[in-house]
Chains A and B, each alone.
Chain A
Amino acid sequence: MKIEVLEKNETNLRLIIREVDVPLMNALRRIALAEVPSMAIDEVVMIENSSILQDEIIAHRLGLTPLKTDLDSYNLPEECSCKSEFGCNLCRVTLTLDAEAKEGTRTVYSGELVSENPEIVPVSDRVPIIKLAKGQKLKLEAYARLGKGKAHAKWQPVSMCAYKYYPKIEITSKNCENCTKCVDICPKKVLAIKDSKAEVRDLLACNLCMDCVEACPQEPKGITVAWEKNAFIMNIESTGALPPERVLQQATKILDKQLNEFEEQLKVEET
């Protein structure tokens, strides 16, 4: 396996991965979406709510607010040694919110949540939770837990995790009469005209739609679009809960663990 990093920042990771096959890529994608744990508010105790939104709506909004996650110091509640329904310091974080509109209408932001662990805080402190009119109050206690995307989308650490084949475009100058039809039709502007000849400008943007091949009036076609069998472009966009490279690392670890478990089960069956 060869990995080349195309783009990397706090939320985005774009990779070219070579010498792998579809099953592995798809397993990693699905694990990143559904199995990599992240932190989210799971239970809310309303102490006072005189706002115009119901308790449930506020709790739902709090749950969807992504929290920065520390996977090394927290356990999944079902795997925690405490075995308690309520949770312990290793599997639960308490956040509190106490807001009151004293002078006129104001917006309550996610930044006003006070966490018992300063590492586990909302990714963005500018998410509007609710608007309060003068005199309204909102006071609550929220419990955040680790969870998996397959249980609820709020625990998904990625807002996008996708891969596509590495494209291979060939323009045969023998058959091409420079009609520029393929250049005009391409929705991703992959092709361009240089010295009155069509050429590939941005290969990685190609999504293999084949519009250019269909638009070509020549027979045989002057342009062919194909893909490499064992090379993929992978794109991961994190919600901010975990860095995207950490999501991928964790996904490989989980896949490894699941395969080991599977192997153990097979051995048990045999004996």
Chain B
Amino acid sequence: MIIPVRCFTCGKLIGDRWEEFARRIKTGENASDVLDSLGIKRYCCRRMLLSNVEIIDEVLRFYEEAEKRKEARNFY
């Protein structure tokens, strides 16, 4: 859904690194290098960022569409 706050296994705070990670991956940087430069050393924490899918963006779209429909209905 949304990036977990801490690593499931060791409890390191990783939530605050997600946005930088996602941004730099998008520019085509190598994931392993990005994780190294963010100071995420253990593989338990690395998989948290590597395997995360931000579904919340997609779920929010359902809400937005529903709101638009409501608005349209009120308009007519």
Query: Residues of A with Cβ closer than 8 Å to B?
Result: 52-53, 57, 61, 64-66, 105, 110, 123-124, 126-128, 130-131, 133-136, 153, 156, 159-160, 237, 239-240
Contacts and interface: CB of A to CB of B under 8 A. Distances in A.
Interface of B: 1-7, 10-13, 15-16, 18-19, 42, 56-57, 59-60, 63-64, 67
Nearest to B62: A52
B42 A160 contact: yes
Interface of A is mostly: loop
Given A52-B56, A61-B5, A64-B6, A134 B67 contact: yes
A240 B15 CA distance: 14
Contacts of B42: 160
Nearest to B67: A135
Nearest to B6: A64
Contact of A128 (B3, B6, B11, B12): B3
B52 to A, nearest CB: 11
Contacts, number: 66
A52 B60 CA distance: 7
A128 B15 contact: yes
26 contacts: A52-B56, A52-B60, A61-B5, A64-B5, A64-B6, A65-B15, A66-B6, A105-B64, A110-B16, A123-B13, A124-B15, A124-B16, A127-B13, A127-B16, A128-B3, A128-B19, A131-B2, A133-B60, A133-B63, A133-B67, A153-B11, A159-B12, A239-B11, A239-B12, A239-B13, A240-B13
Nearest to A157: B11
Contacts of A57: 1
A237 B12 contact: yes
Given A64-B5, A128-B2, A239-B6, 14 more contacts: A52-B63, A65-B13, A66-B13, A105-B64, A124-B16, A127-B5, A127-B15, A128-B3, A130-B56, A135-B67, A136-B63, A159-B11, A159-B12, A159-B13
Contacts of B60: 52, 105, 131, 133
Contacts of A66: 6, 13
Nearest to A123: B13
Contacts of A136: 63
B27 to A, nearest CB: 19
Task: Tell which of B7, B10, B16, B42 has the most Cβ of chain A within 10 Å.
Answer: B16
A134 to B, nearest CB: 7
Contacts of A127: 5, 13, 15-16
A156 B7 CA distance: 13
Contacts of B4: 64
Given A52-B56, A159-B11, A128 B67 contact: no
A237 B67 CA distance: 46
Contact of B2 (A65, A126, A130, A135): A130
A131 B64 CA distance: 13
Nearest to B60: A133
B19 A126 contact: yes
Nearest to B56: A131
Contacts of B64: 105, 133-134
